[in-house]
Structure formats: structure tokens, C-alpha cells
Structure 1
Amino acid sequence: MTARYAPAARPPRALHVITGLGTGGAERQLRALLRCLPVACDVVTLTNPGVVARELRADGVRVAHLGMAGNGDTSAALRLARLIRRGRYDLVHTHLYRACVYGRVAARLAGVRAVVATEHSLGQDRIEGRALNPANLALYLATERFGAATVAVSGAVAGRLRALGVPERRIHVVPNGIEPARFRFDAAARRAVRGRLGLPGHAVVVGGVGRLVPGKRFDVLLRALARLPEHVWLVLAGAGPERASLDALAVRLGVARRVVFAGDVGDVAGVLSALDVFVSPSAEETFGLAVVEALAAGLPVLHVTCPAVDELPRGEAPGARRTGASPGELAGALGAELALGVRRLPVPRAVERYGMGQAADRLLGVYRAVRRAAGTAGWPGTCGVAGATGVTEAFGALGPVGPVAVPGGGAAEWTREGVSG
């Protein structure tokens, strides 16, 4: 009698869909997550395959650029659905407003029922920089029903989702995570980065990290700098539409020579090592990832609001102090901090709480729940250790996915550099 064997089941695979891959909190969070998440993952960016796309490829993650022409490019949903079908993905995970809207529709068209969205950028009246007007809200809620779960990165975001009408049963709180060892203070990196940025040896350096957009309120930080002594310099790491206006404001305030716009930087950890105080002047945040990274670097932190700190038990982030939102209040808080002298602080317990291992484990729990609800198999075991190896090492080299037929765009095929053809 001949023995019969069932073929080995292939590991489940996920596709992450994100609006863009320039330097931003959601984009950097995705890269850090994929380094730890023990699931074979590919990434599609609708637009802007920027700095983080290059970093993901260097990590061994396959990244495709969908080439979406704009918000009205509805054919993008069809192209994405074709890619999902041909890739035989078991789960689709979307990030940021446009990717959530188009990605959930595309997954439904492709027949994938296990669809997770992470809400990174939901404010009280704006979402990913756009107003939450009736039209945008209606589109968001209509497509949210195509998903199985919506992940909130903080309790504050979960509350906003409930207020918008997202059902409680579909909301899961999974705080952002970081890899603490990557942000540990490095004296050699401090010297190298300060030299590269042209910071004088005597300078005490205040800094912020984030997109140069109005909501980050870096203009308030510039106005606060104008009230501080001449030896205090400011470094802003990030790019965005406000760069020219911030540059002009620095000139008008007479502080231009003390301000360094570092632009999009891949080495955020090096920049944090170069700073002496970190400031987050945003009046509204969804999590405050940059604040946690700064705490991991041992920096004193001033923040106007930060759910990552505000939602913790008291005393878990002693290096972070809340300040008022006006230029005068911020300048006063900076003056008081600088009077304590340049120093590095012990890494607080808050950083351990937000380790990427914990974030990956929680997210795997969401993945299992939505796959069970969809009637499909489970997922691999939890990450367990922050900084675990990437999916290429964990599962072996990913096989080819293409060719992917792209309506109106010929044939495309996955490569390590993106989608060709």
C-alpha cells in the first residue's frame, strides 16, 4: 500500500499597503515592525517610494510602487487588486488614509477577507493632513466596513475611532513600538553627525524630528529659539511642504544661522545622539513615536502632548516633561531644562513597555483573530524578542510573485528594486 502525504502548507503571507514611503512616523514604524514580525511580508506604496522604500529593500523586503497618479486615480484599486490576487496573500494590512481607502477596496475585489488597517494619523478634525469633512468621513467609514479590524496606535486614537462611528468590536489598540538598542546614545555618532551638520563645538543643541507640516508646529519652536541665548542651536530632521516658510521665518526672527534643516534622514538615531534636548511642540499627536525614541537615546524631552507618555502610569517616563503650547511657555521650559546642564538620562521603563517585540506580539494576535473570523489557518508563533531577524532569514528567500498584470500598464514583476515593466 502506497503512503500518501499531504503537501506541506506554505507559510502565510501578508501584503502591507501604505500611501507613501518618505520619512515619517508611520513609514519608519512599518520598517521597524517588519524587522521583527515573523510573517512573510511584502510592501506596496501607492506613491513616493522614498527613503524608507530604499531602507526596506536593504532589509530584504520586496517593495513595489503602484504609481498612483492622485486621489482620483480609481484604477489604482484595480491594479492593486490584481497584484493581491497574483501574490496569493493571506492578509492585507493597510497604513494611512489613502492606502486604507484604496487597499480595503482592492482586498475585497481580490477576495481577501482578512484585512487589517492601522490608523496612525487620526486627529480630532483631520486625518493624514486632510480635513475630516463629511465627504472624507463618509468615504472612510464606507471602506472601513470592508476591513476586519482597525488598529489604533493609542487609546486616544481608539477614542476618536469610536467617536467617528467605527464599531467597538473592530477596534484593537496596538501601541507603536521601537527597537531600543537602535537608539542607544552613541558618542561616536554624536561627533560624526554634529560635524556633518556643521554644529559648533560650544553649541547646546535642541531638536525635533518629524514631517515639516503645520500640525507639528515647528514654527512655535523657532519662535521659542529666538528667546534663547546665542549658543542654543536648533536641528529639525524631516522634510515637508513647510520647509520654505520655516526657512523664511528663521530669517525674519534672526535665528537662521542657528537653525539646521537636516532634511529626510535615515539615521534618526544618529541625530538623536547629536542633540542635547528633544522637543515635540505638536498640540495634537496620535502616539508620539519620536518622543519614545528620544527617551531611548537618554534625552530630556519637552512635549506639549504625547499619548505614548500621557497614557502611561505616572513616573514611567521621568525624563519627559509636559509644557505649554505658546512660544513663551516653550522658551521658559527650555530655559529651565538647559539650566540643568547638558546630560544624558537613564533609559526609562516606558521605553521597555514600547519594545517592538511587544508590538509585534499584539499585532500577531489581531492577525490570528481576523484569520479565524475569515475561516483561514493561524499564524506562526509570536516574535518574543525585539529586533528578531527579518522575514527573509526567518522563512528563506521569498519566491517570485510576478508577473503581475496591471490594467492599462502592461505587465509588472516584483524585483528587489520594486516592480519592473
Structure 2
Amino acid sequence: MKTHIVQVITELEPAGAERVLADLSLELKKRNYAVSVVSLQSEPEVKTILNILRAENIPVYCLNVTKLTPWRIFRLRKIIKDIKRNNVSSPLIVHSHLMHANLACRIVKISDFKFPLINTVHIAEKRGSHFLFFLMDKLSYRFCDICTAVSKSAAKWHALKLGISPDSIKITYNGINFPKKISIENRKTLLKSWGLEKCKKLIGSVGRLDYQKGYDLFFKILPDLSKKIPENEIWGVVILGEGKQRSTLEAIEKTVPPNIKVIMPGYREDAAECIGAFDLFVMPSRYEGFSLTLIEAASSGIPLLISDEADAMEEIVKYAKNWQKTNFTNITKTTEKLIELLRKAPEDNDICNLSVAKMTDAYLNIYNSLLLLPQKY
């Protein structure tokens, strides 16, 4: 009797929560579970996640829900009902990810029928515009059977916004498939392709180009850092990712002195392997959940400089040897820490607990406990 797991998410763009869903779905299928995936939005432009799922013959449904067509979430009701009808003798669990999907699944559950529902909080959402969503979350919270969060800080923040105990939210850390180490030859080739082969030091990051990630704060530090670079040296800065803030960042980039070369090559599927080419990884995020790219950076062994604004990062870097945190609005202090960390060599870090296999084990324990609970509503 094969348990069927329906994974529901807001969208399938190649970002952190979406990667977690894909890795979890593939690992579940490998372990002989049936898996389907539902995205509230339409097919994304960048189809990396979509293609990974379809390559493994995992059914993917895109509901094309928009602000003007919110009723399309009830297509989810039909999908779940059809799966139940076609697998009458098999247990079914619905696992949703991110706030919009969590709310959609609760609405569907309230509307008609019972199914075990697990909601996962992926981020400590601190945008003021989400007040209404937190209110809806609070009012409908009792309709999820189990709520999990990907970090203690995300659980604490979410509980605070809902007025519930953080202990009522289970912590399940994200995991990664560890990237292979980059070779010296491949590093040279990569730097040449970026036009950075003459750079003495390389500072890098991976993430969406948007307000949350704080790259605008980091770029404003570069003129001060420029003054500390030895004469006749050029240093490089690489941000791998794409997003709405590109034009803003490009405008700030024009103010950076010529002894720092900044490039933003866009999204890369092999970004995890590229991290090993950096001398230092920076993460200036204003808020985070449990960053996959920070786990990947820790696995590479390079020094890490993280923001003190996102508590979840410390739950990751505790596995690393060379790291510091800083307030990226403090230009002088951050520059000092950048220089200090750039003097350090990479070291091996033991992060085996942050693997996809460990993450899947944790979710399976929750799924199994969920099947034993009496169904509400």
C-alpha cells in the first residue's frame, strides 16, 4: 500500500523552497512513495525545477491562480479528490510549502473533505505588506494538522505573528545534495568566462536580486573596501542570480571604484559548484528561512560573512569553522571583517546532518505520525 504525498507550493521558480520541494519529491519517489506536485501559479519562465520533476515522471499541476482569479485554488480540491479516487486503498497526505500554498490547502480542506495536512513555513516573513496573510493564517491555523518550520528562528517569528507557542511548530531543517568540489582547472576556466582571471581575490554570493537578499547594502560597502585593496591589485565580486532589483543594483555598481570588478551573470543551474571558486561567500540578507546556498557555501569550506539580521543563518554556520556576522549597514566594521576573512584559507566543515536524506527522514517521521492522528473537520 503506497502512500501518496501531494506537495503543494506557491510557484516553481528556481528558489530555495522550490528546490527543497523538488529534492524531497525525488527522494520520496526513490523510497517508493507516490508523489504529485501542485503549483498555485502558472508554469515559470525558468523551468529548471519543473524539468527536474517531469524527468522523474512526477505529475505536476499548475493552477494559474492570479490576483484576479483566486477561485482557481479550488482546482486543487479536484486534483486531491481525483488522486484519492484513483488510489482508494492508499493513504494520502498533503504537504504544502510557503504561506499562499498553506492558506490555499486550508481553504480546500475546510470546503469539503478530510485529508491529513502538513504546512511548512520556509521563511521569517518580515514584509509589512503581509499583515492580511498573517491574519488569515492565524484564523485558519487550526485546520492544519501539523505545522513545521525550516529553522528555529522562522518558527519563533511565525509563532509571534500568530500569537501561538513556538513549541507548537516542529523544526525540520532543509538539506542539500552536496555539490562536488571545483577543480583548480575548472576554477580558472570559470573565472576567465567571467572576465575575472586577473582578480587577486573573489567575493561571491548566490541569490535572487531582490530587497530581501540585501545586495544593495553590500554594494554600498564596496567603495570603502576599495580603499583597503593593495596597489595594483583588482578584486572581483560575483552575484549569481536574477531578480527585480537588477536595475537598482546595476545603478549602484556604477559607483564602485575600478579596482573592484562587479559582475552579475544571472541564474546558473551549477551555482552550487561555482561557490567553490570564491575566496569568501557573503550573505547580506535582511531576513531568511534556512538558506540552501549558505549550506552549499559551508560545504565548500570557504569563509562566510553573514548578516546579523537573519537569525536562521547562525543555525547553519555553527557547522562551519571560518565565519563572522555583521550589520551590513555598518560600512567600516563590515569592511574590516571582509578583509579579515579574506586572509583565511578554506577548511573542511562537517555538515553531513544537513543532507536531503536526513531532511527526508525527518519529514517521513512526521508523515507517519500524521497518519495516526484522527482527522479534524
Moved more, 199-208 or 250-259: 250-259
Distance 1:110 1:90, change over 3 A: farther
Distance 1:168 1:315 in 2: 22
Determine the structure 2 residue equivalent to 1:333.
Answer: 337
1:65-99 deviation digits (Å, cap 9, x = unpaired): 211223x4222221111111112271111111211
1:142-171 deviation digits (Å, cap 9, x = unpaired): 333221111111111221232222466751
Quick check: 1:154 aligned with 2:154? no
Cα deviation for residue 259 of structure 1 reads 1.5
Helix, strand or coil at the partner of 1:22? coil
> Residue 120 of structure 1 is aligned with which of 103, 112, 122?
122
Distance 1:317 1:270, change over 3 A: closer
Determine the structure 1 residue equivalent to 2:88.
Answer: none
1:257-311 deviation digits (Å, cap 9, x = unpaired): 8111122221122221222210011243222332211011121111123545524
Quick check: 1:354 aligned with 2:354? yes
1:362-412 deviation digits (Å, cap 9, x = unpaired): 111111122211469xxxxxxxxxxxxxxxxxxxxxxxxxxxxxxxxxxxx
Paired letter, 1:304: S
Helix, strand or coil at the partner of 1:116? strand
Determine the structure 1 residue equivalent to 2:36.
Answer: 42
1:2-32 deviation digits (Å, cap 9, x = unpaired): xxxxxxx3x1111111111112111122222
Percent of aligned pairs with the same residue? 25
Helix, strand or coil at the partner of 1:83? helix
Paired letter, 2:24: L
Moved more, 168-177 or 94-103: 168-177
Distance 2:192 2:157 in 1: 43
Distance 1:315 1:245, change over 3 A: closer
User: What are the within-5 Å matches in structure 2 for residues 137-286 of structure 1?
Assistant: 137-163=134-160, 164-166=162-164, 170-180=168-178, 182-226=179-223, 227-228=225-226, 229=229, 231-254=234-257, 258-286=261-289
Distance 1:250 1:166 in 2: 43
User: What are the within-5 Å matches in structure 2 for residues 102-113 of structure 1?
Assistant: 102-109=104-111, 111-113=113-115
Moved more, 151-160 or 40-49: 40-49
Helix, strand or coil at the partner of 1:295? helix
Helix, strand or coil at the partner of 1:353? coil
Contact map agreement 1:31 1:56 (CA 8 A) in 2 = yes
Cα deviation for residue 108 of structure 1 reads 4.2
Runs (4+) off by over 6 Å:
none
Distance 1:368 1:234, change over 3 A: same
Q: Which runs of 5+ in 2 are unaligned?
A: 85-90
Helix, strand or coil at the partner of 2:338? helix
Distance 1:271 1:111 in 2: 47
More RCO (CA 8 Å, sep 6+): 1
Quick check: 1:98 aligned with 2:89? no
Quick check: 1:20 aligned with 2:11? yes
Distance 1:187 1:61 in 2: 37
Contact map agreement 2:181 2:273 (CA 8 A) in 1 = no
Helix, strand or coil at the partner of 1:352? coil
User: What are the within-5 Å matches in structure 2 for residues 316-327 of structure 1?
Assistant: 316-325=319-328, 326-327=330-331
Determine the structure 1 residue equivalent to 2:81.
Answer: 85
Contact map agreement 1:148 1:170 (CA 8 A) in 2 = no
Distance 2:220 2:343 in 1: 19
Distance 1:329 1:110, change over 3 A: farther
Helix, strand or coil at the partner of 2:352? helix
Moved more, 162-171 or 213-222: 162-171
Paired letter, 2:73: A
Distance 1:79 1:298, change over 3 A: same
Contact map agreement 1:212 1:241 (CA 8 A) in 2 = yes
Cα deviation for residue 315 of structure 1 reads 6.2
Distance 1:187 1:308 in 2: 32
Determine the structure 1 residue equivalent to 2:87.
Answer: none
Distance 1:31 1:193, change over 3 A: farther
Contact map agreement 2:99 2:133 (CA 8 A) in 1 = no
Quick check: 1:302 aligned with 2:305? yes
Cα deviation for residue 100 of structure 1 reads 1.4
Two-structure CA RMSD over aligned residues (Å): 2.6
Distance 1:353 1:69, change over 3 A: same
Contact map agreement 1:205 1:232 (CA 8 A) in 2 = yes
Distance 2:8 2:239 in 1: 28
Contact map agreement 2:188 2:197 (CA 8 A) in 1 = no
Helix, strand or coil at the partner of 2:254? helix
Cα deviation for residue 254 of structure 1 reads 4.3
Contact map agreement 1:25 1:210 (CA 8 A) in 2 = no
